[in-house]
Amino acid sequence: MKKLVVITGASSGIGKTIAKQFSKNNHPVLLLSRRLDKMEELELPNSLCKSVDVTDLEKMQEAIKEAESKFGKVDCLINCAGIMLLGDPKEQSFNEWNDMIDVNIKGILTGTNIVLKDMVSRNEGTIINISSIAGRKTFDNHAVYCGTKFAVHAITENIRKEVASSNVRVITIAPGVVETPLLSHTSDENIKSNYNEWKKSIESGLDPQQIASCIDFAYNQPQDVCIREIVIAKTKQED
């Protein structure tokens, strides 16, 4: 059996596809999401599924400890949980801003806080944070979402530098539009409609499998090779 991989946001979209990819590659996997039934439906071998809010440090610790007791130390943490709530900043509710900050920023910090020190002590391990092109440039109706993804980029790169001497890799994956349920979280129907019309102009978003393949490629480099960031989008996506 290969080494343990932990995946947040594993019930749908990119996280679900990553879970299947790593399981196919014979890794034991800890799948974390609030929707337990969706993860259990995958029926992956050597897997543990836990309904956990990624902002809950105690519950995250309990889940990771249980997985490590079954499968050994975490070799790779993939922080994939995220929400995208698009809105006009003049109109959008503070609660939506707050939710994005909680899930998109705090959600990468809980798991990192739990596994990083042990990875450094072992001189091995990889943390992969799923960010976005919206972590590199701004877009209308994306103000706070962009802010959270800029934070993911900054936190990832800064931690990468600080643990590099311990042979631990910290990697940013920044996709453009991907065919996932992410847009469904947005409450403004007009913004959703315009977004979907724009997607038609680029002939849909990326398949989540293409993101999983990038992650698989980066992870399977030798431990002393760190692909710091991958930015991937449809060729026709200009922005």
**Half-sphere exposure for 200 (CA within 13 Å, toward CB):** 5
Question: How much of the chain is in helix, strand and coil states, percent to nearest 5?
Answer: 50, 15, 35
3-state secondary structure of 127: strand
CA dihedral 158→212→51→154, nearest 10 degrees, is 10
Q: Single out the catalytic residue among 22, 71, 145, 150.
A: 145
Amino acid at 62: E
- Give whole-number Cα distances, 59 to 7, 85, 179, in Å: 15, 25, 30
Distance CA 106, CA 59 (A): 14
- With b for 16 or more beta-carbon neighbours within 10 A and e for fewer, the 126-150 pattern comes to bbbbbbbbbbeeeeebbebbbbbbb
Is 145 an annotated catalytic residue?
Answer: yes
Distance CA 113, CA 61 (A): 9
The DSSP symbol for 234 reads -
Say how far residue 102 (Cα) sits from the centre of its chain.
14
Q: Which residues are catalytic?
A: 145
